[in-house]
Structure 1
């Protein structure tokens, strides 16, 4: 590793966290775009970044893709079913409705019932992507780093037309503090929507708003479960026992990487799912998961397309490599079976690099 890409020092990491905290405390959040941008930058740092201090260039179109994924479900009406409320598209701007939501809503109306994965094959999707990229460029990319009355480019600079570059150590920090960035962004996003008085007639005292905004719909989960059962059989991915009832489990825990990927979803016995909980799976399970990626990737891709779940095998593998590398560096342990764990060693990382 050259000196130019050494990871940030402990002091530099603390300074990054301090500025991130100030951004949330002192920034002006008139819409939810800035939360979406932070989530997008963190996702991309994990998926295409590295664990050194290197800069990372991202295009506006890469970021726009993430915005479309994040806001896709938000463009349909949300309803609680509670007395005194009525379904509606949640308002995500203190002024007029967020332009990204409007653009996605118009696109979805033109191709009713289409999933986001199928949408990419539509000729009109390129127009949607360009429109969202323009909005992202003109708004959150311009204003995210304005807080406390000044502009502090601690995250990125405009590197060229249509792209930004994350500064030295930024991708590293976004990868290391990924869960914190996600939690802060999602919590503030939910609070922003709940605090908008124009949403009160839709929300009432709704308590499941975060699930609607960021998790798979019940319909998608049902499709995934049924299709995985056809693909993998009626056995628990972890213990191998036959299962009459099953959970759809995130192999790399959702608490670690809260984004749904079809290649990361497996069927599990409810008891195994509860026991594994938020931990990474041990080496025997990782071996089977990687074999599954190699032999069933195309079938999983099709399930994702039908269910509307992200379906990129390379991304799933890179996310797993990031998760296990972080666990190894922290002395983490991986779940083998109930109350049975083993250390995450360098052998895990070699397996993921193979």
Structure 2
């Protein structure tokens, strides 16, 4: 007889989901789409007990097509991207977007639902299922530089959600949806290839709560003068530096001048929303204490709050909280160290 996961098991599930969002390498939006798909399918096909649930790759692929159908259409035209279709990764356009575009160009269906009985649509599902199996299903449970296989087991043409997972996905579906959609939107916004399409004034939330791109560009310019044109994390010299929140904005959503560091695009994407390892923390503390006056002056010049004591307190709070669990700190791409102790 099946039961339901205990309160401790449910809390453990949420902790691991949080780690997945914060410590995984999101090189495209596919992982967000997979999490949304699993949560939706658990609602429709799962039960309110701790039983396992098998989902075929084709079932998941159909959800991907529904999620990306609208996003395969132009957001708006731009000189930088004639198609006006938003990029879903940092390389060439995502394979699933291309597959859906090709299908739509060759057929007159206006929705996946209208196309579902056609032979060509079944071929599209096969192609998308192959991509889903090779990429997000294969890599979603890689967390913090290692494997954290808490969601599912992989089969030849399907996955099996582990005991209690479907129940937790059903119970926490609104939270998972909100997190995945929010991170997905943020990924699209931060992809440099999408800036010409989105424009400067694309999002009210950014206007209300985030430092403008113009201000961040000025911060970047002044930090280059202060620290030189080197990535804070890998120490490589490059002209293509970006402003990174040392304590992730997702953890503490407030812009503080001392919390800004320069990062190369590769390190910035890889670190993402992870806390940096303690080796980086020690260097950051020394740097902001040594350059407190200069950093404060930059903050005053560009209009960003600069308070060393506040920034150090936030960092201590962040790392103290992480030390009590299984959280790992980002060292470099693919390498994480435990923050406990």
TM-score interval (norm. to shorter): 0.5 to 0.7
For the pair 1:24 / 2:41, whether they are aligned, the reply is no
Give the alignment partner of residue 66 of structure 1, picking from 60, 63, 66: 63
**CA 1:53–1:109 in 2, change beyond 3 Å: closer, same or farther?**
same
Residues 80, 203 of structure 1: 8 Å contact kept: no
8 Å Cα contact 2:109/2:115 also seen in 1: no
- Cα RMSD, aligned residues only: 2.1
Q: How far apart in 2 are the matches of 1:125 and 1:110?
A: 11
* Equivalent of 2:76 in 75, 79, 92: 79
Residue of structure 2 equivalent to 1:177: 172
Q: How far apart in 2 are the matches of 1:87 and 1:99?
A: 15
3-state SS in 2 of match to 1:43:
helix
Which runs of structure 2 are paired with 1:115-154 in the superposition (5 Å)? 115-154=111-150
Q: TM-score, normalised by structure 1?
A: 0.55
**Change beyond 3 A, Cα 1:117–1:208:** farther
- After superposition, give the CA deviation of every residue in 1:303-340 in whole Å (9 maximum; x if it has no partner): xxxxxxxxxxxxxxxxxxxxxxxxxxxxxxxxxxxxxx
1:157–1:167 Cα contact (<8 Å) kept = yes
Q: CA deviation at 1:98?
A: 0.7
CA distance in 2, matches of 1:68, 1:85: 22
Matches of 1:111 and 1:12 in 2, distance apart?
47
Matching of residues 299-338 of structure 1 within 5 Å: none
Pairwise CA distance, 1:79: 2.2
1:168 matched to which residue of 2? 163
1:87/1:202 contact within 8 Å kept: no
Q: Aligned pair in 2 of structure 1 residues 153, 115: CA closer, same or farther (>3 Å)? A: same
Matched residue, 2:191: 196
Kindly indicate whether residue 94 of structure 2 is the aligned counterpart of residue 98 of structure 1.
Answer: yes
TM-score, normalised to structure 2's length?
A: 0.57
Q: Which runs of 5+ in 1 are unaligned?
A: 210-354
Tell me the secondary structure at the aligned position of residue 58 of structure 1: strand
Superposed displacement of residue 23, structure 1: 0.5
Q: CA deviation at 1:47?
A: 0.3
Larger-gyration structure (1/2): 2
Shift of 1:118: 1.2
The size of the alignment, in residue pairs, is 204
Cα distance change, pair 207–139 in 1 and its aligned pair in 2 (3 A): same
